[in-house]
Amino acid sequence: WGGDDRLDHVYAMTDVLPKDDRIDTKRAGVVGRSYGGYRTLTLAARHPELWQAAIDMFGPYDLLTFADRVPATWKPFIKMLVGDPETEQEFMLERSPRTYIENVTCPMLVIQGKNDPRVIEQESRELVEKLREMGKEVDYLMFPDEGHDVLKHENRVKIYDTMTNFFKKHLE
């Protein structure tokens, strides 16, 4: 998490997509859910020059706290792919979006479920508050009746309308 996978996106935005005349990389947005939300936060914070808008959906903001909250059956997987919070704290901090969040320059929409057991609502709220304290433009859409996904039809309608309008506003 946060290594070559991050650089794949940077390479695409700097070396591949600009060669396609149909794509305007000066009007690029980034969006992701769960791990993709983590990726969105990482890209917006570590490569702010590439994005004009970002949407984080249920993305882990701090890998140390995320690793602490996963079920016991996930812990070996997390240690292998993300890091061991007991022995690799510095590495995990280096890969956490929290470490670079002050670099965000684009408007951001953060989407969160109140009942999310992995990416807790308090952490997403702290992200939003931190961005606002720094004078960044950030919208927060929290669903009190959802967890680590948006499952209810009326909430899905709201989320996709909000996302579409957010990108329309910031990428046109």
Active site residues: 34, 116, 148
- Copy the structure tokens of residue 56: 């984080």
Give the CA dihedral 98, 102, 105, 110, nearest 10 degrees: 40
Residue 48 exposure: Cα atoms within 13 Å on the Cβ side = 12
| Spatial distance between the Cα atoms of 96 and 68, rounded to a whole number of angstroms | 14
Element (H, E) at 29: strand 29-33
Give the full edge-to-edge strand order of the sheet including 53-57: 29-33, 53-57, 108-113, 138-143
| Spatial distance between the Cα atoms of 127 and 125, rounded to a whole number of angstroms | 5
- Copy the structure tokens of residue 46: 């570590």
Residue with tokens 């939003």: 128
